Amino acid sequence: MTNSPLATYQPDQRALALIGGEATDANLRRYLHGIPGIDAVGLEARAADLGTRSIKTSSKRWAIDTIIGLIDLTTLEGADTPGKVRSLVAKALVPDPGDPGTPRVAAVCVYGDMVGSAVSALGSAHAAGGTDGVNVAAVATAFPSGRASLAIKLADVREAVAAGADEIDMVIDRGAFLAGRFGQVYDEIVAVKEACRRADGSMAHLKVILETGELNTYDNVRRASWLAILAGGDFIKTSTGKVAPAATLPVTLSMLEVVRDWHRLTGVRIGVKPAGGIRTSKDAIKYLVTVAETVGEEWLSPRLFRFGASSLLNDVLLQRQKMTTGHYSGPDYVTID
Amino acid sequence: MKFLDYAPAPESQALLNLKSDYGLFINGAFTAGRGTPFHTINPATEQQIAMIATANETDVDAAVSAARHAYDGVWSRLSGSDRGKYLFRIARLVQERARELAVAETLDNGKPIKETRDVDIPLVAAWFFYYAGWADKLDHAGVGPNPASLGVAAQVIPWNFPLMMLAWKIAPALAAGNTVVLKPAETTSLTALLFAEILQQADLPAGVVNIITGDGSTGATLVNHPGVNKVAFTGSTSVGRAIARSIAGTDKKLSLELGGKGANIVFDDAPIDQAVEGIVRGIFFNQGHVCCAGSRLLVQESIHDDVIDRLKRRMQTLRLGDPLDKNTDIGAINSAEQLARIRELSDLGEQEGAERWSADCEIPANGFWFAPTIFTNVSTSHRIARDEIFGPVLSVLTFRTPAEAVAKANNTPYGLSAGIWSDKGSRILAVADKLRAGVVWANTFNQFDPSSPFGGYKESGYGREGGRHGLAAYLKPAVRSGSRSIIAADHRTPSVTKKSASAGKKSVSAEKAAK
């Protein structure tokens, strides 16, 4: 299916060709409601089934290191300070001081005004969109609620990009989505994507947060995923972490299915980021299994998959130490950030 | 490394304490069989697991008389709540020994440990718990007040869900107050014999359940034994037919759960990814050794190519191999004979012009294996669209309208199961109403629950197992007004159950007299 002419289109043309006209509410509704529905019981059963895979010995060792390299180590508190961000960056660079062979995380994820602190704390270890080092992701667009004017959201994005953010985690307007104003959601994503453009013409990576806990149904999650991808998102992300439920395995599975179908349709690879609520290695391994068996192993790369998490890293490190030494240590044998 | 080449994760066999020889379980004790013993093998390796005894006519006779003795002397005199206590105890022991039973079932049958661990054994416990609750509520079983048990039940079960089929048979029979002689399938006797140990642990009175092993001739001797009041059989339609013929003219009650060629109908508005999962579960669950398997996929023509494309991608992720590995999805075919039959029918499918496609998977050197296979371009007249293959082989047909889907789904001598996939509730109800199948699943497949009756139409058999209906197969109405004097004469026994049980026995002789 990837030999479809859609593969050769520019992204914006591709979306319009698929929708069959301009990105109006009516056209988008027709398209999004034409996508096959999701049976919630069946989806959850499939996710539970994937969760029973038994990942042992060498597979587990590989999984543990892979998980670390996929983490967006996050601090998103009202109480964040440059000092807290420096500490987070230090943890991102050296997750386990007792084992220099421990991989680094993919990125640190902070509020827009902390981007400068993160970039300077990283110094030469700032990957700046590459794979060598750690990237800086910034939440933007009036995160987490998204309740601000478009001008403010775009200014939020531009400031973060100008301060050196490599990745922008935007939120969609859930109110507009639930009210059926799909065109508005689409246009905002397009505008935010444009605001990710730097002076030199390069683009910060755009992750689109759906806030699945507020969308409530899997059908909504699927439609919002298609909408975000049509509008040009590089990644689709489950949650802000500020709304419960945040990431769940079935929600992530449903988003991975969209990404798989988009790849079949256009040949383009979109990333997925479950965020919030993933705290243990055991859970994270279930996500790796789900990714590998749904879209393929190729997606187990920071370019295409991330975990948005803060406490996950230390649990993974405890497991890693256990696999090395053969015995469990305790919370005081891993560092806090 | 490739992550998807998951490192081996074998379930430990350390819990299992198998004996090298197993006798027959008659009157509460293991005794040597008088027939020629045979060995049971692991179909994944072809290695011998244990020697199993064969019951000859004398053994069958001993088992039936032990059951009769236990019926007259103990079981029919117990109150319903006391029978329930035994059943609850058995259910709890099954749970306690679940891991051990799962490993034994996987070794002997070849099915993956994840299925025995997550489906078979939990359902066995659920069946005993469910019918334990019924034992003192038989007035509500739908056969009138004070229903009577039948007496001795002869039960013959298949090899596809060995312990689960045992539970489906034994739990309702005991709850209703009958005693049992059960014969497991020749290739899968092991867990029934471990279950006999559980009955000893549960202190079930001797003779209430007797388990005899052997081949088809042992089964035939059992069902034809004159001391048997009820015959329950699950297995092939040809054997079921032979049993019906052989007991015709006797006063034995019969329930048969036979073959099937279930239609799994996918409409164009189906939740497509879940439908693909349902197709996989419908035909590849338990290597397709499922009488209610969704072995005919009826897919609406407009989405045929998309569904098949998605199905093939999904099938590439199925993991065939060591059934004891926790990540195995497809285990071994149960026997060389069954493998030969699957191969024969599949080859025939190709000769008839259907297009064959199998998932790439490495087939182990030893044991009996068959890669998950689908046939497209299948017509209703092809043998693979009509005959039960009883293996991981799916025949794909198309339809254009709901009417055509119903007509094609019903165009089979069988009528056990069907599935409907659609997002439109009204369509599901309308189509389900027209399907002649005992079980119709909507947006799911191969789901079992003890409270839900199960059984077939046409050549899929008669009688229902599970739920209230399943109890009725082991009960008969209390003797009515004309026999009042018989009940009155029995006033010495205070227990209600005793009264109804003896009334039942009297009614058997009364019917005989009437003939």
Task: Give me the amino acid identity at B292.
Answer: C
Boundaries of every domain in chain A: 9-325
For B71-104, the pLDDT digits (tens) are: 999 999 999 999 999 999 999 999 999 999 999 9
- Binning pLDDT at 50, 70 and 90, where does residue A4 land? low
B489 touches chain A (CB under 8 A): no
What is the overall mean pLDDT for chain B? Answer: 93
Nearest to B21 by CA among B32, B34, B9, B35: B32
Nearest to B271 among A42, A52, A60 (CB): A42
Could you give the CA distance from residue A148 to residue A152 in angstroms, rounded to a whole number?
6
Q: Would you call A169 a catalytic residue per the annotation?
A: yes
Nearest to B419 by CA among B286, B267, B259, B305: B267
Nearest to B271 among A39, A52, A55 (CB): A39
Nearest to A38 among B274, B309, B444 (CB): B274
How long, in residues, is chain B? 515
Q: Which residue has the tokens 């020629």?
A: B36
Sorted by sequence, the CB contacts under 8 Å of residue B443 that are 6+ apart come out as: A39, A41, A42, B270, B271, B274, B275, B278, B420, B421, B422, B428
- Terminal Cα distance for chain B, rounded: 76
B321 touches chain A (CB under 8 A): no
**Counting beta carbons within 10 angstroms of the beta carbon of residue A71, is it exposed (0 to 12), middle (13 to 18) or buried (19 or more)?**
buried
- Segment A285-314 mean pLDDT: 97
Here the tokens at position B35 are 């027939």
Q: Give DSSP secondary structure letters for A296-320.
A: -GGG-STTTB-EEESSHHHHHHHHH
Cβ atoms of B372 and B316 within 8 Å: the answer is no
Residues of A in contact with B271 (CB under 8 A): 36-39, 42
- Binning pLDDT at 50, 70 and 90, where does residue B511 land? very low
Could you give the CA distance from residue B350 to residue B346 in angstroms, rounded to a whole number?
7
Among chain B residues, the shortest Cα distance to A58 is held by B7
Task: Give me the amino acid identity at A269.
Answer: R
Nearest to A164 by CA among A137, A143, A141: A137
Cα B295 to chain centroid, rounded: 17
- Binning pLDDT at 50, 70 and 90, where does residue A10 land? confident
Could you give the CA distance from residue A180 to residue A174 in angstroms, rounded to a whole number?
10
Could you give the CA distance from residue B87 to residue B202 in angstroms, rounded to a whole number?
9
- Binning pLDDT at 50, 70 and 90, where does residue A13 land? confident
% of chain A with per-residue pLDDT over 90: 93
Cβ atoms of B223 and B156 within 8 Å: the answer is yes
Residues of B in contact with A287 (CB under 8 A): none
B4/A292 Cβ within 8 A: yes
Sorted by sequence, the CB contacts under 8 Å of residue B160 that are 6+ apart come out as: B109, B286, B289, B290, B291, B334, B390
* Closest CA of chain A from B318, distance in Å: 10
Sorted by sequence, the CB contacts under 8 Å of residue B422 that are 6+ apart come out as: B267, B269, B270, B428, B431, B442, B443
Could you give the CA distance from residue B310 to residue B421 in angstroms, rounded to a whole number?
15
Cβ atoms of B476 and B150 within 8 Å: the answer is yes
Nearest to B6 among A36, A55, A66 (CB): A55
* Closest CA of chain A from B356, distance in Å: 21
Long-range contacts of B454-457 (CB under 8 A, 24+ apart): B454/B257, B454/B292, B455/B255, B455/B257, B455/B416, B456/B257, B456/B258, B456/B260, B456/B414, B456/B415, B456/B416, B457/B414, B457/B415, B457/B416
Helix or strand run (H / E) with residue B296: strand B296-300
- Binning pLDDT at 50, 70 and 90, where does residue A12 land? confident
Q: Is the pLDDT of residue B327 over 80?
A: yes
Could you give the CA distance from residue B149 to residue B175 in angstroms, rounded to a whole number?
9
Residues of A in contact with B277 (CB under 8 A): 42, 45-46
Here the tokens at position B469 are 């209906």
Here the tokens at position B41 are 């093998």
- Segment A134-143 mean pLDDT: 98
Q: Which CATH class is domain A9-325?
A: alpha beta
Report the SS3 class of residue B289: coil
% of chain A with per-residue pLDDT over 70: 99
Give strand ranges (E) for chain A: 71-74, 107-111, 135-139, 167-171, 205-209, 235-237, 271-273, 307-309
For chain B, the 3-state helix, strand and coil shares in percent, each to the nearest 5, are 45, 15, 40
A56/B8 Cβ within 8 A: yes
B271/A52 Cβ within 8 A: no
- Segment B165-191 mean pLDDT: 98
How long, in residues, is chain A? 337
User: What is the model's pLDDT at position B494?
Assistant: 41
% of chain B with per-residue pLDDT over 70: 93
Q: Which residue has the tokens 């990576």?
A: A205
Choosing from A156, A237, A261, A286, which is the catalytic residue?
A: A237
B9/A39 Cβ within 8 A: no
- Segment B223-248 mean pLDDT: 97
Q: Which residue has the tokens 């199961």?
A: B417
Instruction: Kindly list the distances between the CA atom of residue B26 and the CA atoms of A331, B205, B227, B333, in Å, as whole numbers in the listed order.
Output: 58, 11, 15, 31
B8 touches chain A (CB under 8 A): yes
What is the overall mean pLDDT for chain A? Answer: 96
Report the SS3 class of residue A275: strand
Instruction: Kindly list the distances between the CA atom of residue B241 and the CA atoms of B186, B222, B413, B460, in Å, as whole numbers in the listed order.
Output: 19, 16, 13, 10
B250 touches chain A (CB under 8 A): no
Chain A contacts to B (CB-CB under 8 A)? 1, 36-39, 41-43, 45-46, 52-60, 62-63, 66, 257, 288, 292-293, 297, 300
Here the tokens at position B270 are 């189906």
Could you give the CA distance from residue B305 to residue B296 in angstroms, rounded to a whole number?
16
B270 touches chain A (CB under 8 A): yes
User: What is the model's pLDDT at position B195?
Assistant: 98
Residues of A in contact with B2 (CB under 8 A): 297
- Binning pLDDT at 50, 70 and 90, where does residue B490 land? very low
Sorted by sequence, the CB contacts under 8 Å of residue B271 that are 6+ apart come out as: A36, A37, A38, A39, A42, B421, B423, B443
Residues of A in contact with B8 (CB under 8 A): 56-57
ipTM (interface pTM): 0.95
Q: Give DSSP secondary structure letters for B324-357.
A: TBTT-SB---S-HHHHHHHHHHHHHHHHTTPEEE
* DSSP label of B292: T
Helix or strand run (H / E) with residue B61: helix B57-73
For B462-488, the pLDDT digits (tens) are: 999 999 999 999 999 997 655 444 444
User: What is the model's pLDDT at position B501?
Assistant: 40
Could you give the CA distance from residue B302 to residue B337 in angstroms, rounded to a whole number?
39
Q: Give DSSP secondary structure letters for B307-330.
A: HHHHHHHHHTT--BS-TTBTT-SB
Q: Is the pLDDT of residue B423 over 70?
A: yes
B273 touches chain A (CB under 8 A): yes
Q: Give DSSP secondary structure letters for B228-285.
A: -SEEEEES-HHHHHHHHHHHTTSS-EEEEE-----EEEE-TTS-HHHHHHHHHHHHHG
* Closest CA of chain A from B325, distance in Å: 9
Could you give the CA distance from residue B230 to residue A174 in angstroms, rounded to a whole number?
63
Q: Is the pLDDT of residue B425 over 90?
A: yes
Could you give the CA distance from residue B286 to residue A153 in angstroms, rounded to a whole number?
54
Catalytic positions of B are 257, 291
Could you give the CA distance from residue B167 to residue B174 in angstroms, rounded to a whole number?
10
Here the tokens at position B377 are 């371009």
- Binning pLDDT at 50, 70 and 90, where does residue B500 land? very low
User: What is the model's pLDDT at position B514?
Assistant: 38
Nearest to B7 among A37, A57, A288 (CB): A57
Q: Report the 10 Å Cβ neighbour count for B10.
A: 15
